[in-house]
Amino acid sequence: MKSLFLFLTLTFTAALGAYAQDAGGDTLDAANQAYTEGHYDQASRQFQDLIQAHGYSAALCFDLANADAKAGRIGPAILNYERARYLDPSDRDIDHNLQLARQQAGLKPNSLRWWQVALRALTINQWLSIVDGWLGLIALAVISNFFVNRMPSGRNRAIAGKVVKTTLFVAIPLFLFTTYIALLAAPLRIEGVVMSKDAPLRLSPFDAAEQIGTLPEGELVTVEQKHDNYFRIESRDGHYGWMTRQSLEPVIAGSFEVSDEQ
């Protein structure tokens, strides 16, 4: 009870008027008002309605997570903090509140490192656009070199040759580097948050299979494989097992359905 009281009295940074641009109108004002007055269940429902109407945003997910945290719903709170962080990985308020919620749930911190924030600062399409830009510059330099070699000897040819060589010297390493970064930034991992208390982890994807452990509510896992109503997951400590679909919610909404099609 003391732990619960501590959780409810923690100062979560509430995103109220600052995020009005993400979902305007009276509904947002009403949700913020309900939060301010301590009606956290009502605020949670209203923020969910806003997400249904306007789509996911870091601001709305953050507000929803704050309301769920204040209402004592640790699983949904951590889920929506994770969603907010996915959409805005550099926001310190989001990470701060996420770590508070994880600490209260007895989970280890999982703050993003600086290079993870840098990777997530751009979408995979933006990284690929940068790769395409370097590739185009390399192609232009190669074509230019063809014409430079056919120029009459002299000062102009020497200058043009140096420009082409410098361009290739810079562009090729940067092309290789950004290609590597784009591969790292590709969304290859499908992550989910455990939504059940002491969710069973089984040896195989069957209800009668041996239970090899449990995972706490709010834990972040990676989904590796699907079989019927079960997902094979990897926990943060590197353990594997099978967990029911009902015990998990995806960080990226709809990503579990994508895994169904693979």
How would residue 128 be classed by pLDDT, with cut points 50, 70 and 90? confident
**Residue 84 and residue 17 share a domain:** yes
Domain count, the chain: 3
- Residue numbers of the domain that contains 218: 190-261
Contact 13, 96 (CB under 8 A): yes
CA distance 11 to 100: 9
Residue at a domain's end among 107, 141, 173: 107
**Residue 79 and residue 17 share a domain:** yes
Question: What is the pTM for the complete model shown?
Answer: 0.71
Is 96 or 8 the better-scoring residue by pLDDT?
A: 96
Burial environment of residue 247 by CB neighbours within 10 A (0 to 12, 13 to 18, 19 or more)? buried
The domain that holds 223 is classified in CATH as 2.30.30.40
Evaluate whether residue 13 is within a structural domain: yes
Angle (CA) 99 101 107, round 5°: 75
**Residue 80 and residue 25 share a domain:** yes
**Residue 92 and residue 22 share a domain:** yes
3-class secondary-structure state, position 240:
strand
**Residue 200 and residue 153 share a domain:** no
Dihedral of alpha carbons 24, 25, 31, 34, sign: positive
How would residue 190 be classed by pLDDT, with cut points 50, 70 and 90? confident
pLDDT of 137: 94
Looking at residue 53, the DSSP 8-state letter turns out to be H
Evaluate whether residue 115 is within a structural domain: no
**Residue 77 and residue 14 share a domain:** yes
CA distance 102 to 217: 10
**Whether the predicted pLDDT of 5 surpasses 80:** no
Looking at residue 111, the DSSP 8-state letter turns out to be P
Evaluate whether residue 155 is within a structural domain: yes
Least confident range of 19-23, 136-140, 167-171, 215-219: 19-23
**Residue 147 and residue 97 share a domain:** no
Is 115 or 211 the better-scoring residue by pLDDT?
A: 211
The domain that holds 75 is classified in CATH as 1.25.40.10
Which amino acid does the sequence have at 193? V
pLDDT of 124: 67
Q: Tell me the per-residue pLDDT of 28-75, one tens digit each, with 9 for 90 and over.
A: 999 999 999 999 999 999 999 999 999 999 999 999 999 999 999 999
3-class secondary-structure state, position 134:
helix
CA distance 167 to 122: 25
* Bridge partners, residue 230, by sequence: 227, 244
How would residue 188 be classed by pLDDT, with cut points 50, 70 and 90? low
CA distance 38 to 131: 49
* Bridge partners, residue 225, by sequence: 232
Residue at a domain's end among 39, 74, 107: 107
